[in-house]
Structure 1
Amino acid sequence: MTSHQTSGLVGAVFGLVFVLVNAGNLPAAVAVVVRVLAIGSFIWLFIALRRAGAPRAEGQVATAPRLFGRRYLLVVAAEVAAALAGILVINLVLHTPHATVAWISLVVGLHFFGLAAVWRAPSLRLLAAAMAACGAAGLVLAACAVPLAVIATVAGILPGVLLLGSVWWGVRSAPAATAAIS
């Protein structure tokens, strides 16, 4: 797989996890539908990503620049440190575990600003802003003591859908992928 396929797969996996984990806070019938849709979307994306790597011409595979270097690792390390620190504060100091998913969404959203800079991919800024906004809104909702299902939807399911949608957009926008999945 190319670096772009790998980054798309990582985004799709995390999008799926966001949806699957947070759907558990919804009524059972709704949770099943949401999970089935997320799994179906993930399978479609997985297939589309694999096809996007198909040879462009006879025996010639598209290559992509290396995305997972030292600067990427620094962004991810900062993300993990911020996420863990925030989770500890939220749970041990503030005693508001229902705000955890919102914090994670905020941090993941902010990390996409770093990735946009490292990968020179300004299009990631839109995903970053949208996910960070979901996380911030979820923190506000948690502070207002709204039901967990609402927080999980705004700060968990919606960011998962945003990640899956972002990967879909990337697959649809890639020149080789458009021909492969059309």
Structure 2
Amino acid sequence: MNSVRTTRIIGSSFGLVFVQANAGALPTAVAIPLRVLAVVAFLFLGLFNRRPAAPEATTAPRARFGGRYWLVVAAEVLAIATGLMVINKVLHTPHATVGWIAFVVGVHFFGLASAWRRPELRVLGGSMAACGAVGMVLAALGAPDAAISTVAGIAPGALLFGSVWWSSRTQSGANSRPAAVR
């Protein structure tokens, strides 16, 4: 399995996790179709999407899962764990956890953009970090769980799915712009 396929599976897996973990805060009539749609998106984008890279896309930098990647992931895990401890044990605002996770995952894309020399990942990272920040603000303001979960959970999941879709679209030759996630 090449790095393009691996990153598609990773991106769509985390899109699925974001949606599945947060859809429960929504009304059942919305949550169930959203969860089914997320599974379909995961299967289509992550597992069944076997489009080869277009010739112009093969010259783009590839994801490398070396030391720099693992340093970014380690920093992400440490930031999430530390933040969750502070949010739950010190601030006692458990509704902010989904926002914190989305914020940190978004920021980690800036590290990946640098490690993989893929500046276009900053768009995904900034968008997800913004969703997380808004989710934390909503939690601090006492907004309903459904609003927080939609902004800081469902939206980042959709952003991940969209990024994987865009990368497969550009790699199949439909567009020559750089892909967001490979």
1:81-140 CA-to-partner distances (Å, cap 9, x unmatched) read: 000000000011111111000000000000000000110111101000000000000010
Aligned length: 172
Residue in 1 aligned with 2:179?
none
TM-score scaled by structure 2? 0.88
TM-score, length of structure 1 as denominator length? 0.88
C-alpha RMSD of the superposition: 2.1
Identity of aligned residues (%): 58
- Alignment correspondent of 1:23: 23
Aligned mate of 1:154, from 143, 151, 156: 151
Partner of 1:10: 10
- Contact in 2 for aligned 1:52/1:177 (Cα 8 Å): no
Contact residue 112 and residue 128 of structure 1 kept, 8 A: yes
Aligned to 2:97: 100
Q: Which runs of 5+ in 1 are unaligned?
A: 57-61
Kindly report structure 1 stretches of 4+ aligned residues shifted beyond 2 Å.
46-53, 62-66, 175-178
Does the CA contact (< 8 Å) of 1:48 and 1:177 recur in 2? no
Equivalent AA in structure 1 for residue 103 of structure 2: L
Measured after TM superposition, the shift of residue 49 of structure 1 is 3.2
Deviations 1:64-87 (A, max 9, x none): 845100000000000000000000
Q: Unaligned stretches of 5+ in structure 2?
A: 176-182
Secondary structure of 2:117's counterpart equals coil
Task: State how far apart, in whole Å, the 1-side matches of 2:63 and 2:128 are.
Answer: 25
1:113 is aligned to 2:129? no
Partner of 1:38: 38
Correspondence for 1:59: none
1:78 match: 75
Please say which structure displays the higher CA radius of gyration: 1
155, 169, 179: which one aligns with 1:172: 169
